[in-house]
Amino acid sequence: MSVDLFYLNHPWEKLAFGHHDELDPQLANIYMRSSVYTPWIQQAVDLGSKNAQKMEMTDLIPPRQTTGEKDHRTVWYNSERFDSYTRDITYKSYGGKLAFTEYDDISFWLRQGAAGLSRIVDRHMGQMVVDSLDVLSRNSFLAHPYPFVSGGGSDFNAVGAGDKITSDDIRDIWLGLEMRDRMYANLPLDDVTPMGIVCITSPGVLYDIKAEGASTNKNDYITLNKEANPSSLLRQGVSQYLDVTFIKSNMATLWNCGDTTARANIIQPASGGDGSDPAVKVYGTYAVGEVGTAGVTHYVTTNIATGLAIGDWVTIHKLTTAEFGVTGPNGVDYRDPDLHNDQIVNIVEIAVGTEYRITFRKPLMTDFATDLGAGVYGYITKGKDIHTAVFLGGNTGILRGYFQPPRILRPPTFDDAMEMRRITWKGRYGDALWEPEAFEVLLCSATSRRGFGAAVDG
């Protein structure tokens, strides 16, 4: 395979630098979020020093208390027991790349008045690493073997439209985390956060908690930024309710991962940059996509559009799974590294019942160009959203072992013109479910309002 396929693989070649008649080159200094899930993972194991891809670690079960009375003349005691248990952790390789040419760097883009694409790429590379680690952290938490489903059940299929979080759910989980016999949990130097139990959940779940709290438990709901003691604020914490501190994140919503209501197959290869059309202004404002750029297709071709409509929020993905109880067809796999969540802004019928062109709010950011079988290159799915709430009694639930921590690299330029600039990152690490007693995962439905109409249950 030609090295050019990867060495010259960069996104900037499809952007028309300086070819627009009227365009402000000053990029907005957009907000970049920080980690949400990763700070709650224990990161303490160095696999690199062991030269092993998989490590099995042994830990002790400490001796129990001795409160039995002894005879005053007893001179020999029975020894109390230690015992042990083992856990293992395996590392995998991760990485990513951004690239541009020297011409791109000097030609057009500005940020905060300073020219240079390299500064912009550096900043976004750091964010890419943060986001990548955070998604893996979330996925590790959601792999808890015993999820708590609001309304009963054990998987995504059990989550119904009315199965929203309740005060009873929060109390039940609080009780379990407080009473569960966690290893070392009652020692004075325990790692439980001084805020008590923390929950990372979606804005929809938080909305439903507020709605219930406003009507039934007004005195139990506290907005943290209104507390008199600023030192009690937790970074990204937004509220306390029933002795639980809640942190909101859209990452806690698994869009369209529940029961499937509509699915279309992508029947023609699609590349990164395809799928959005500047002629269709998003919300009547944004012109997204490239005008007259060779190789860019402003739509994705599907076999059907049944059940899909303009304005729908859908998931574009490659992987499906029945692991979480969604079948006929199998559900969206939230662990799919190529998964996109986006909104449909246009649907054009090309051939009745066999070919449609769907345009999205944003372009595809990865390729859907590999045949997955039978001429299908990916899927567009509309389904029930699954909202998650990870309740944390400390940071020992997941352990991350590093063989090589993530690091940012600058490979040397080696083309004839010394033009290509690349910045990459790589890391070798792995997560293990370490202390499942230390956290719980709740699955539920929640109120949604992604568009501009009234809020709906989703």
User: Quick one: average pLDDT of 204-212?
Assistant: 90
Residues 34, 131: one domain?
Answer: yes
Q: What is the pLDDT of residues 309-366, one digit of tens each?
A: 999 999 999 999 999 999 989 999 999 999 999 999 999 999 999 999 999 999 999 9
Residues 109, 224: one domain?
Answer: yes
CATH of the domain at 286: 2.40.30
Residues 231, 95: one domain?
Answer: yes
Alpha-carbon distance 182 to 241, whole Å? 24
* Number of neighbouring beta carbons within 10 Å of residue 412: 7
pLDDT band at 111 (very low <50, low <70, confident <90, very high): low
Percentage above 90 pLDDT, the chain: 44
User: Quick one: average pLDDT of 430-454?
Assistant: 91
Q: Is 219 part of any domain?
A: yes
Q: Is the pLDDT of residue 16 over 60?
A: no
Residues 362, 405: one domain?
Answer: no
Q: Is the Cα dihedral 182, 184, 187, 191 positive or negative?
A: negative
User: What single-letter DSSP state applies at residue 344?
Assistant: E
Percentage above 70 pLDDT, the chain: 78
What are the structure tokens assigned to 436, written together?
Answer: 């499942």
What is the model's pLDDT at position 229? 45
Q: Is the pLDDT of residue 374 over 90?
A: yes
pLDDT band at 394 (very low <50, low <70, confident <90, very high): confident
**Greater model confidence, 414 or 120:** 414
Alpha-carbon distance 421 to 425, whole Å? 14
Q: Which structural domain, as residue segments, surrounds residue 111?
A: 22-61+87-255+385-458
Cα of first residue to Cα of last residue in the chain, in angstroms, is: 46
Alpha-carbon distance 272 to 208, whole Å? 37
Residue corresponding to tokens 């997955």:
372
Residues 379, 404: one domain?
Answer: no
- The count of domains in the chain is 2
User: Quick one: average pLDDT of 47-74?
Assistant: 75
Residues 371, 411: one domain?
Answer: no
- Among 213, 148, 155, smallest CA distance to 389 is for 148
Alpha-carbon distance 331 to 325, whole Å? 8
Q: Is 9 part of any domain?
A: no
What is the model's pLDDT at position 242? 85
pTM of the predicted structure, to 2 decimals:
0.86
